[in-house]
Structure 1
Amino acid sequence: MQRTVVVAGGGISGLAACYHLAQSSSAPRIILLEGSSRLGGWLQSTRTEDGAVFEHGPRGIRPVGSVGKNTLNMLSELGLESEILPVPGDHSASKNRYLYVNKALHKLPSGISGLLRTIHPFSKPLIWCGLRDFTAQRGTQPDETVHEFVARRLGKEVADIAIDSLCRGVFAGDCQRLSLRSCFPMLYEAERKRRSVILGMVLAGGEKSHFDSALIRRAKKERWSQWSLRSGMEILPEALEEFLRGQGVQIHRDTPLRQLERTADNRWKITLPGGSIVADHLISAVPAKVLSQLLPRSEEPLAKELCQIEAVSVGVVNLQYDGMVLPVKGFGHLVPSFEDSILLGIVYDSVAFPDQNHRGAPSTRLTVMMGGAWFEEGIGNPDKVSQDQLLRRASEAVMSHLGICGAPTRAIVKLHKACIPQYTLGHWKRTENIFKYLKEQMLPLSVVGASYEGVSVNDCIFSARNAVEKLFQWPQ
């Protein structure tokens, strides 16, 4: 008898889970349930009639490691190679990254020479931070904040400026609350195994991976630092949906889960707005906190762990200006929290991906990101913030940071509520408890997505693959 697997959540994690389920030789009956009217989650693009592309979520994907190669394999299998826009390692968007400190842009060092001399906003050459790492004592705690770790090993200035900004750019989070072990596991392992982070990273070498394809080899040969898709990142979920429909996967939009009930034969009765269905297994790709509210009382220990994984909201404002008006060329700049807690950073989209500019006269596309862990205290309640408020704040930042005056020719404002999970101190233990509970209770449930083991697109796709591989180990 064919089993039924329900996937809850039609973002990239849920779509990837369905993709790998459908590829199996013993594919079950697959049902995808999405609570909103669209698939793709935070992968969302706007394409204009004159050819411009504006990304409202992730835009540049890294090709490295097993997780990056896994995503490139998926692109090849979906026939999306011709859509790829690579950014090679010698491109200005790869080499030039900036910080906005003391009301000025400062280029981060990108070579050995930059480490040997004092470069603002730092007060001394960064080579001294490296030397400090070689003499620092190994940490004794099972976890510590990212800020504590970097301050201990590289110095408080690096933690306050560079790492604070990095955590805001990647997690929209506060490095004084985020977990080093969960956010940067490679750094944690490097210190644990080699005592020196720098030595540990060097000796670790390249990550071994069994993934291989012509696209992966091309990315390595051309030294891609990142890539995007010509018609926008939303092309990926659209291609996945087309593939899944061709495989007979049932896809239901506007169908949020209302309640989960465990049956006597260890299946799920899933209550929906228009009735209920029974599933042999559930793959949850919804945020951890959402899942915690769906579980029955009998699974309270699991719900308690899930509800502790918070997420922050981010305002994303896409702006287009006539002409090439940027004072510098690079990927963009980040802003440390002491400089401006509301403004996380500005991405120079036109530099990395000029093919996504509109046809005709030159133009500049920018994306301003704001809020994150500071959203409510700096901007207000996400349910009450207006688009005009976010647009005004973004326009002011572009003028003060980049000297770009005048009104943009295009502006698109998006508010993504609870979009980036926060791996705060002790997150590793929470996830360990979650996976341990699922195994010990033999719960017919898998959890995937950004809430657990990585917030990037690559991480989400890889977690879905791993969950499906484990699922097909079930007794036949």
Structure 2
Amino acid sequence: MKKIAIIGGGISGLAALHFLRSRYADSCKVILYEKEYRLGGTIGTDRISGYSSDWGPNGFLDKVPLTLKLVDELGFTDKLERANPKSENRFIYRNGKLHAISASPLKFLRSPLLSAAGRMRLVSEPFRKAKKDDSDESVFDFASRRIGTEAAENLIVPMVSGIFGGDSRKLSLKSCFPIMEEMEREHGSLFKAMLARKKKKGSSGGPAGPSGRLTSFQTGLYSLIEKFNELYAEFIETGAEALRIEKTDSGFRLSLKERQPLDFDAIICSTPSYVLPGMLREMDKSLASLLDTIPYASISVVCLGYNRNDIAHDLSGFGFLIPRSEGKRLLGSIWTSSIFEGRSPDGMVQLRSMIGGATDPEAVDLSDGAMLDLVHGELSDTLGITGKPSFVRIFKWKQGIPQFELGHPEKLAKLAQFGEKHPGLAFTGNAYDGIGLNDCVVRSDKVVSDLAKYLGIQ
């Protein structure tokens, strides 16, 4: 019977626990250690005064079968909640106004989002030469080269801020938007690639970015974490801080705070990557140093509840993003009440806004009062709000989102080499292949499958 430890009780660690217990329960003993006295990491949901407010992630895209299969195996499919189809409209704040991003190419090209010159540059994309070599480039450089600097500034930069809280001039295209690189490589043009996809599917080619519908659960995303805890509580220890990992002749030794060291055949590390160097430095300084090179951006989520009658905008959509060139600190806002039912009391609406990120790292250090004033003020300017919020929840995440900067693919290649050097030691989480819940589930599935092969369990 093999012994496996999982360090970290976020979605990655919990998914790994489920995959091990559901597939290899007769072949291994597994225990998950979580430093805090709650599970979920950045996933949390406050349910207060009729509002349901997510601390960090607010859902996942229903485009990855493995995640939906996981939910089904947990017996939780009946609690899934898809975003309201009426919330599909997205907006960009430009020149002091909100502009809808039209799915129709003709309508989009008539939009005041871009100048006449910017639109002409955009439509010339199919005639631009494709990049010949396989070298990585920043998301911004790629977008500027393909669709022009103006479109990059006003479309791509805010999208990157909204997804990664990142600086598009530093983020790796290969790591953040591999599908865009693939589209250029295979078709020579983004537009040509979208036409090819449309022809193949017999429907709209859609955007080059994420697809699928935003999906959560009826009582918020944290209910998924609660379901894991309900099913696997006997295999989870909270308030258990991992301090050090050492290599032994038969596997690994894990030292926990105020406990005796324990030996395991394998260890799955699912904490944020910046936590790991302290645990691993004595065992392998080079591995610790590599993990130390993955940067994180700090971000704050501000959830505000307003009387619906105090907002001029009809809030018919998903929300809006703001280009950095507009001079506002707000990255964007999601209209939670328009997306999911039951997230606010009758007659009220909940707006979920983001501030900070890699381009505004000091924002997370604002006092709650200053942050509230800033967010409320910019929302009022943007949406025509006349009243004060009657509900306020602020969640600050220092080192909240990993940043896949240029050179990230090389870091992953080196990490794989360390995996060969230390078989039985595995890494999962949002710091490697992708930051979304789907990415975490997929990586944990692979990590568990690879460990099972190494340990010879079935």
- TM-score w.r.t. the length of structure 1 is 0.88
Tell me the equivalent position of 1:375: 360
**AA paired with 2:113?**
P
Deviation at 1:85, TM superposition (A): 1.8
Deviation at 1:305, TM superposition (A): 1.4
Q: Is contact 1:230-1:356 (8 Å) kept? A: no
Q: Is contact 2:55-2:301 (8 Å) kept? A: yes
Q: Which of 447, 464, 467 is the equivalent residue of 2:444? A: 464
Deviation at 1:357, TM superposition (A): 2.2
Give the match's secondary structure for 1:39: coil
1:72 aligns with 2:68: yes
Tell me the equivalent position of 1:39: 39
Tell me the equivalent position of 1:114: 107
1:240 aligns with 2:228: yes
Q: 1:271-420 alignment to 2 at 5 Å?
A: 271-324=256-309, 325=311, 327-328=313-314, 329-340=316-327, 342-358=329-345, 361-377=346-362, 379=363, 382=364, 384-420=365-401
Q: Which of 265, 271, 274 is the equivalent residue of 2:250? A: 265
Deviation at 1:126, TM superposition (A): 4.8
Give the match's secondary structure for 1:176: coil
Deviates more, 1:461-470 or 1:18-27: 18-27
**AA paired with 2:74?**
L
Q: Is contact 2:34-2:241 (8 Å) kept? A: yes
Structure-2 separation of matches of 1:103 and 1:302? 48
Q: Which of 379, 387, 412 is the equivalent residue of 1:431? A: 412
> Cα 1:206–1:373, aligned 2, differ >3 Å: closer, same or farther?
farther
Q: Is contact 2:308-2:349 (8 Å) kept? A: yes
Tell me the equivalent position of 2:80: 84
**AA paired with 1:367?**
R
> Cα 1:425–1:416, aligned 2, differ >3 Å: closer, same or farther?
same
Q: Is contact 1:453-1:459 (8 Å) kept? A: yes
Deviation at 1:433, TM superposition (A): 0.9
Q: 1:170-181 alignment to 2 at 5 Å?
A: 170-181=163-174
Give the match's secondary structure for 2:351: strand
> What CA deviation, in whole Å up to 9, does each residue of 1:325-375 have, x standing for no partner?
3504110001111223631111111111133222xx311110111001133
> Cα 1:432–1:224, aligned 2, differ >3 Å: closer, same or farther?
closer
Q: Which of 241, 254, 260 is the equivalent residue of 2:239? A: 254
> What CA deviation, in whole Å up to 9, does each residue of 1:107-164 have, x standing for no partner?
112223324x321221138575243234323243510000000110111111111000
> What CA deviation, in whole Å up to 9, does each residue of 1:294-341 have, x standing for no partner?
103341221121111011111111110122535041100011112236
Structure-1 separation of matches of 2:135 and 2:281? 32
Structure-2 separation of matches of 1:114 and 1:239? 44
Deviation at 1:201, TM superposition (A): 4.9
- TM-score w.r.t. the length of structure 2 is 0.91
Deviation at 1:386, TM superposition (A): 2.0
Deviation at 1:266, TM superposition (A): 3.2
> Cα 1:199–1:363, aligned 2, differ >3 Å: closer, same or farther?
same
Structure-1 separation of matches of 2:325 and 2:129? 26
Q: Is contact 1:103-1:401 (8 Å) kept? A: yes
Q: Is contact 2:241-2:256 (8 Å) kept? A: no
Unmatched 5+ residue regions in structure 1?
Answer: 209-222
Deviates more, 1:187-196 or 1:199-208: 199-208
> Cα 1:200–1:303, aligned 2, differ >3 Å: closer, same or farther?
farther
> Cα 1:127–1:114, aligned 2, differ >3 Å: closer, same or farther?
farther
**AA paired with 1:78?**
L
Structure-2 separation of matches of 1:260 and 1:420? 25
Structure-2 separation of matches of 1:452 and 1:410? 36
Q: Is contact 1:143-1:179 (8 Å) kept? A: yes
> Cα 1:292–1:341, aligned 2, differ >3 Å: closer, same or farther?
farther
> What CA deviation, in whole Å up to 9, does each residue of 1:23-64 have, x standing for no partner?
1134411111111121011111111253x2111211132111
Tell me the equivalent position of 1:448: 428
Deviation at 1:264, TM superposition (A): 2.9
Q: Is contact 2:158-2:323 (8 Å) kept? A: yes
What is the root-mean-square deviation in Å for CA atoms of aligned residues?
2.2
Give the match's secondary structure for 2:83: strand
Tell me the equivalent position of 1:215: none
Q: Which of 130, 134, 138 is the equivalent residue of 1:145? A: 138
**AA paired with 1:225?**
R
Structure-2 separation of matches of 1:231 and 1:34? 24
Structure-2 separation of matches of 1:347 and 1:376? 21
> Cα 1:376–1:49, aligned 2, differ >3 Å: closer, same or farther?
closer
Give the match's secondary structure for 1:270: strand
Tell me the equivalent position of 1:4: 3
Q: Is contact 2:45-2:53 (8 Å) kept? A: yes
Deviates more, 1:135-144 or 1:105-114: 135-144
Deviation at 1:199, TM superposition (A): 2.9
Unmatched 5+ residue regions in structure 2?
Answer: 202-210
Deviation at 1:274, TM superposition (A): 2.8
Deviation at 1:16, TM superposition (A): 0.5
Give the match's secondary structure for 1:355: coil
Structure-2 separation of matches of 1:431 and 1:462? 16
Q: Is contact 1:268-1:282 (8 Å) kept? A: no
> Cα 1:237–1:126, aligned 2, differ >3 Å: closer, same or farther?
farther
> Cα 1:85–1:475, aligned 2, differ >3 Å: closer, same or farther?
closer
Give the match's secondary structure for 1:252: strand
> Cα 1:86–1:312, aligned 2, differ >3 Å: closer, same or farther?
same
> What CA deviation, in whole Å up to 9, does each residue of 1:265-301 have, x standing for no partner?
3323334333322221111111112112210334122
Structure-1 separation of matches of 2:414 and 2:197? 28
Name the % identity.
Answer: 28
Q: Is contact 1:326-1:364 (8 Å) kept? A: no
Equivalent residue pairs, number: 443
